[in-house]
Chains A and B, each alone.
Chain A
Amino acid sequence: MIFTAAAAVLAGTVLSCILAILPGLHIYNVMGLAALYLHSLNGGGLAAIPEVTIPFMIGLVTGWSVINTIPSVLLGAPDESALFTVLPGQNYLMTGRGYEAAMLIGAGSLIGIFLLVFMIGPFAPKYVPVIRYVLSPHMHWILWVIIVFILMSEWPKRGNRGPAGWGRFFSAWSTLGAGLLTFFLSGLLGFVLLYRSPVSIDNAFQNIMPAFAGLFAIPWCLLNAVSGAVIPDQRVCDRLNIDGDLLLRSGVAGGLGGGFAAFFPVVTGGVGGLLAGHATAQRDERVFMMSQGVSKTVYYTGALMLFFVPGLHLTRGGGAWILKGLYMPHTWGDYYLALGSIALSGAVSFLFMSPLTKWTLKLIKTVDYRIISVLSLGIIVALVFSITGWAGLFIMIVAAGIGLIPVLFGSRRLNGLGVLLLPIACNLSGLGEPVAAFLGLQ
């Protein structure tokens, strides 16, 4: 059985490493499709074996959380959790050091896996239930604090110069206003999807997927498809300019940010990255980038790991929600299987990091990455349509319209997270029902 499980982890990891190269494609979309296939197998009387399904799915998530650094840095197309790696990544890329940037963030991901397996994993069953018990009554106001932090930490990018007056005032507020508008509109979209989703009930478990694709993936693909940046020759190095001190600092900041995102409901990797970034950004760009790698890996993989903690029954993150429909972990054996799968997949995917980065560098030299972006756009649209149908495409287009606002106005794309944060924060505070009634959604 151990070989079957190991083979399933490796299969999931290899598949996710290939898929992670495609900019904009999210692993949860692929997992959703896999879950539909497994449900259809169950419906046909063929039960999927948990010892294969669990490691395979964990391999998908872990491998993707490590390797998705490559499109973030080299193709400028991150998922929501890696938004903050784009700017420093592009700086490295434009000075011929894209490989180094990708490997720095990859090193952060490796630290994240170490944190999960050797530090959080052994203590989680004892302490996470206590933390959950203590924090549960406070979730609502903590979510509101996070929302305020996201909105207030946006800064004006224009209006610093020129004569004082309304012109300068509006110029300064254009980015801030666009950020607030993005948050508000995506929040309204979230209310519609939560209370009266147009997605067919037969595939309702993926009803938020078209919104995420539209808010985050489609704008990147469109932007990359119309931009024409020329990438200079890249240098491949065999050493990274980091030491134990830098690794430790990035591990602490990224671990806290990613751990926070993994534990709190609807707080995603992007928020974890924001917190980790604020803890490190002023000090050292290398620490910042590595902390982003730690944060996104701890978020994606950690949220899935918490699902397996015996007796905790905590479902956080899209991966855990998809798995919940396939299997409910009950035993310590499940937990050990999950931890082992994370360790194995993390190790293998980091080994893939260097060759895949080199391969992608060669690819973007020979193939115009605008073509890659268009190809990715096609795959995303096809996935959304195949799972959620015309209604899903409609949602995706509306969400893409909202997701393009920060792109065009230069505000922070993280504001698109209002799609989850606003309705859930309202619900936890007891305001969801009156707001939904006011909007005519009940």
Chain B
Amino acid sequence: MSSAENNPVYGFQVKRPVRIRVLQVASLVLAVAGLILLYLFSVNRDIPRIRIGEITPAMNFAIVRISGEVIRDTHIFQSGGMVFNLRDGSGEIAVMGGRAQAEALTSTRQLPRRGDRVDVAGSLSVGADQQIKLCIHSSRQLFLQRNRAEFSSEETPRVPLADVTINRRGDTVTVIGTLTAIDIPGPGAKTPYILTLEEGGAELKVVFWDDVFQEMRKRLPPPGKTISASGRIEVYQDTVQLKVRAAGDLQPVSVADAEGFAVEAKQ
């Protein structure tokens, strides 16, 4: 059929018919261009900020940002993952992270502790059992503002070991003593690390968990070293102990400092 002929069903023959290959390439261009546009749309869009009380079951998998106060210290699981709890005035939420996020936060000493303020982005997991979780994808999406007031050794009162008694339960104090024993939990054990400090015949157990040990880059001071420990006085199974919450609250001190502190404490 020549180009001039008209077919009653198929119409006239065009001079330069379009090759199917051209349409195939056009579809590829369309798909790639669409994906690029979608990508640009997504990355240039702020992650929505919400309050915990506004979360509904239909928001499952939503990527959101939440700010609030940490109400429970970060706990590191045996699997390497982590969890801490956050409160923003409208509700509470558990913030979960995997091993990679926990390791990144530990190495940068950014593991949230009680009292810290946190701004964090992640994906929501909402079930009908009302257990709402925020799963963080990256440690870079967690911004931390430390609350140093509660545990800072500069601001906590320094007391002699002998004065750490059951009567001071709940107080946050700083003590200095000689490290006499180290108790390390066995593999898989759910017990804390325990350092025993001695000063003037009095002994005190200083306890901390694996997250602090990780924060210390798995290095403990050797026995015989004089160290300063800041933390909360707690009682466990009728034994008074000092609970340390951050690696920075355990510091080696020089003998001269320790003696100066002893004089200061006596006065």
Q: How far is the CB of A279 from chain B (nearest CB, A)?
A: 33
Complex interface: chain A residues within 8 A of B43 (CB)? 196, 440-441
Contact B28 A442 (CB under 8 A): no
B11 to chain A, nearest CB (A): 16
Residues of B within 8 Å of A325, CB to CB, are 57-58, 60, 126-128
Known: A189-B35, A197-B63, A398-B38. A408 touches B24 (CB 8 A): yes
Chain B residues near A195 (CB, 8 Å)?
42, 63, 137
> Closest residue of chain B to A40, judged by CB?
B58
CB-CB contacts below 8 Å: B75-134 with A: 98-101, 123-124, 126-129
How many Cβ-Cβ contacts under 8 Å join chain A to chain B?
Answer: 127
The segment from B44-52, B188-196, B224-232, B248-256 found at the interface with A is B44-52
Residue of A nearest to B140 (CB): A442
Given contacts A433-B138, A442-B137, contact A205 B60 (CB under 8 A): yes
The answer to the question of A118 belonging to the interface, with a C-beta cut-off of 8 Å to chain B, is: no
Does B23 make an interface contact (CB < 8 A)?
yes
B56 in contact with A202 (CB, 8 Å): yes
Contact A205–B31 (Cβ < 8 Å): no
Decide if A356 is an interface residue (CB 8 Å cutoff). no
In the complex, how many angstroms separate the beta carbon of B168 from the nearest chain A beta carbon? 43
Whether the pair B35, A398 counts as a contact (CB closer than 8 A) is yes
| In the complex with contacts A196-B45, A204-B58, A442-B137, A328-B129 CB distance below 8 A | yes
Contact of B34 with A by CB under 8 A = yes
Interface residues of B in 2-53 (CB under 8 A from A): 20, 23-24, 27-28, 30-32, 34-35, 37-39, 41-43, 45, 47-48, 50
Q: Which residue of B lies closest to A324 (CB)?
A: B127
Task: Give the distance to chain B from A188, nearest Cβ to Cβ, in Å.
Answer: 6
B145 at interface by CB-CB < 8 Å: no
- The contact size tier of chain A is 35 or more
CA distance A188 to B43 in the complex (A): 13
Q: Does A116 contact B (CB under 8 A)?
A: no
Q: By the criterion CB–CB under 8 Å, are B60 and A185 in contact?
A: no
Asked if A198 is at the interface of the complex by the 8 Å CB criterion, the answer is: yes
Interface core residue of A196, A202, A437 (most chain B CB under 10 Å):
A196
Kindly state the separation between the CA atoms of A207 and B27 in the bound complex, as whole angstroms.
24
Tell me if B64 is interfacial: C-beta within 8 Å of chain A.
yes
From A43, A430, A432, give the contact of B56 (CB < 8 A): A43
CA distance A189 to B37 in the complex (A): 11
For the complex, is A96 an interface residue (Cβ under 8 Å from B)? Answer: no
Whether the pair B32, A205 counts as a contact (CB closer than 8 A) is no
- On chain B, the residues within 8 Å of A201 by CB distance are 48, 50, 59, 62-64, 124
Q: In the complex, A383→B85 CA distance in Å?
A: 37
Residue of A nearest to B121 (CB): A442
A181 interface residue (CB < 8 Å to B): yes
Question: Provided the pairs A398-B34, A401-B34, A408-B27 are in contact, do residues A204 and B62 lie with their beta carbons within 8 angstroms?
Answer: yes
Bound together, the chains give a CA A411 to CA B58 distance in angstroms of 36
Most buried by A among B45, B56, B98: B56
Q: Which of A194, A395, A404, A433 is the one whose CB lies under 8 Å from B38?
A: A395
- Convert A26-60 into 0s and 1s, putting 1 for each residue whose CB lies closer than 8 angstroms to a CB of B: 00000000011001001100000000000000000
Contacts of A324 in B (CB 8 A): 60, 127-128
**Is A409 in contact with chain B by the CB < 8 A criterion?**
yes
* CB proximity of B36 to chain A, nearest CB, Å: 9
- Check if A436 sits within 8 Å of B137, measured CB to CB: yes
Q: Does B143 contact A (CB under 8 A)?
A: no
The smallest C-beta distance from B34 to any residue of chain A, in angstroms, reads 4
Q: How far is the CA of A421 from the CA of B27 in the complex (A)?
A: 23
Known A198-B45, A401-B30; judge A326-B57 contact (CB<8 A). Answer: yes
Q: Whose C-beta in chain B lies nearest to the C-beta of A203?
A: B58
**Chain A residues in 8 Å Cβ range of B123:** 194
Residues of the A chain whose Cβ atoms lie less than 8 Å from the Cβ of B50: 201
Judge if A19 is at the interface, Cβ distance under 8 Å: no
A204 near B61 (CB under 8 angstroms)?
Answer: yes
Residues 395 to 442 of chain A near chain B (Cβ within 8 Å) = 395, 397-398, 401-402, 404-405, 408-409, 430, 432-433, 436-437, 439-442
Residue interface mask B236-254, A partner, CB < 8 A = 1: 0000000000000000000
**A408, B31: Cα distance in complex, Å:** 12
A424 to B28, CA, bound (A): 25
The answer for the CA separation of A205 and B125 in the assembled complex, in Å, is: 9
* CB nearest neighbor in A for B50: A201
Query: A405 touching B28 by the CB < 8 A rule?
Result: yes
A207 proximity list for chain B (CB < 8 A): 61-62
Q: Are B31 and A402 in contact (CB under 8 A)?
A: yes
Q: Is the CB of A398 within 8 A of B45?
A: no
Tell me if B141 is interfacial: C-beta within 8 Å of chain A: yes
Residues in B neighbouring A402, C-beta threshold 8 A: 31, 34-35
Q: Find chain A residues with CB under 8 A from B56 CB.
A: 39, 43, 202
- A433 and B60 form a contact (CB under 8 A): no
Contact of A409 among B24, B41, B98, B141 (CB under 8 A): B24
Is A192's beta carbon under 8 Å from chain B? yes
Contact A196 B47 (CB under 8 A): yes
Residues of A with C-beta under 8 A to B32: 185
Q: Chain B contacts of A409 at CB under 8 A?
A: 24
Residues of A close to B37: CB separation below 8 A? 398
A173 on interface, CB distance cutoff 8 Å = no
Q: With A196-B63, A202-B56, A441-B43 as given contacts, are A326 and B38 in contact (CB-CB < 8 Å)?
A: no
Which residues of A lie under 8 Å from residue B98 when comparing CB positions? 430
Q: Chain A residue with minimal CB distance to B31?
A: A401
Instruction: Decide if B58 touches A205 in the complex (CB within 8 Å).
Output: yes
Told that A194-B123, A408-B20 touch, could you supply 5 new A-B pairs with CB distance under 8 A? Answer: A185-B32, A196-B45, A205-B58, A397-B34, A432-B137
Contact residues of B with A, CB < 8 Å?
20, 23-24, 27-28, 30-32, 34-35, 37-39, 41-43, 45, 47-48, 50, 56-64, 98-101, 123-124, 126-129, 137-138, 140-141
Q: List 6 A-B contacts (CB under 8 A).
A: A196-B45, A201-B50, A201-B63, A202-B59, A204-B124, A404-B31
